[in-house]
Amino acid sequence: MTGSLAAADAAIHAFTQILDPPLTGGAGPLAGLRVAVKDNIDVEGVVTGLGRPLDEHEPARRDAAAVARLRAAGAVIVGKTNLPEFASSAVTTNTHYGDTRNPADLTRTAGGSSGGSAAAVAAGMVPVALGTDTAGSVVMPAALTGCWGYRPTHGLIDTAGVAPMSPTLDTVGVFAADPTDLLRVAAVLTRHPPAPPPAELRVGLLGDPFTDADPAVLDAVRAALEDAPAIPVTTIPVTLPSARTAAAHGRAIYLDEVHRSFAAQLDPARTYAPSVEARRAAGDPAAAASARLFRARWQAEIATALDLVDVLAAPATPVVAPPFPVADEAALVRFTYPFCLAGQPAVAVPCGTAGELPVGLLLVGRRGADAALLAAAAHLDPAGGTAR
């Protein structure tokens, strides 16, 4: 196993560390399940590299809360996955470990900042990987690489042992090659049992600005909803009037919070990647305060829309995975940022291809109703439940 992982790593730079031997779990509902962990999440006895040289850090003294839950349930931790330095970019470029590339096309990005975890799952290295999602860093790379990605309701999965970026946006998320493993791991991490499959699904198909996307991406998303094999689906047009400004408000909060997080984490004597240095110098407390007032109104607007439907749906990204170098990183999280700001649970569901590149359907649920959202996603399953 280690040899095949190393060969794949050499091709797409998905890992920063491959553990040999792996850290085994025990008996439990996830017994024997191989899991990779993003390298900003602590694994006991292993350096949390944060995309930097490993000799800059000491080994973690204990597992992060999410890792501890997986290992207690029997999972086996096989390695740490690549990320941009300090998870500071929507594209996984890294001068120390190489740029993580998309298994569907090695000239293209796997997204970020959890691109290493997405690529590891999409390439078949592991069936499950942990990532972190602040503004779409799980659901976006899952969509670009063609695997399943789950961002929980903010605060539902314990983030203890995860390097903070923007605490009111940060979550631990899950990548999986199929919905069965996604539901199993989510149940362990959230402590919520799986919900029964829905008999039917009312989907709020989001309009402007979520239709401002590549036509081939929109076609794949609409076809997935129309051709859903497992359950009857009724689509209802939904418009969220505040959606156009939500991403900018989310960005204001992110920059203010990450500025303070980096002030506590970074060595003032060192120079970091340009994406880190830019965030180190950013932060506008007045804009962030205004954005926090907006967030409460935005959450209410989403909740009202979800009173009429079971889930909201849109493309997870407006485009397929772009080639390196990526000219517009912000575009990759344009559809995810608004729901991350609101703290909503979201799932990226693989829904076919556009021009032979993966497309992801974004499903958004009610806050705290993650089990119902996951059940809807799994039983919609327009891609047949496989990442590749």
The 3-state DSSP class for residue 148 equals strand
38 is catalytic: yes
Q: Is residue 125 part of a domain?
A: yes
Please tell me the distance from the alpha carbon of residue 260 to that of residue 75, in angstroms, as a whole number.
34
114 is catalytic: no
Catalytic residue among 89, 114, 117, 137: 137
Q: Is residue 124 part of a domain?
A: yes
Q: Any residues with CB less than 8 A from the CB of 207 and at least 6 apart, and which?
A: 237, 238, 239
Is residue 337 a contact partner of residue 84, using CB atoms and an 8 Å limit? no
Q: What backbone torsions phi and psi does residue 132 show, to the nearest 5 degrees?
A: -125, 150
Q: Is residue 254 part of a domain?
A: no
Q: Where are the alpha helices (DSSP H) in 237-284?
A: 243-265, 274-280
Q: Is residue 159 part of a domain?
A: yes
Q: Is residue 363 part of a domain?
A: yes
166 is catalytic: no
Q: Is residue 258 part of a domain?
A: no
Query: Digits of tens for pLDDT over the chain (388 positions)?
Result: 445 566 667 678 999 999 999 999 889 999 999 999 999 999 999 999 999 999 999 999 999 999 999 999 999 999 999 999 999 999 999 999 999 999 999 999 999 999 999 999 999 999 999 999 999 999 999 999 999 999 999 999 999 999 999 999 999 999 999 999 999 999 999 999 999 989 999 999 999 999 999 999 999 999 999 887 678 899 999 999 999 999 999 999 999 999 999 999 999 999 999 999 999 988 899 999 999 999 999 999 999 999 999 999 999 999 999 999 999 999 999 999 999 999 999 999 999 999 999 999 999 999 999 999 999 999 886 554 333 3
Task: Give the range of the structural domain holding residue 311, as residue numbers without chain letter.
Answer: 1-244+285-380
> Any idea what the CATH number is for the domain that residue 37 is in?
3.90.1300.10
Number of domains in the chain: 1
Please tell me the distance from the alpha carbon of residue 285 to that of residue 38, in angstroms, as a whole number.
30
Q: Any residues with CB less than 8 A from the CB of 353 and at least 6 apart, and which?
A: 146, 220, 359
Q: Is residue 256 part of a domain?
A: no
Tokens of 142: 């899952």
Q: Is residue 151 part of a domain?
A: yes
Catalytic residue among 80, 88, 89, 113: 113
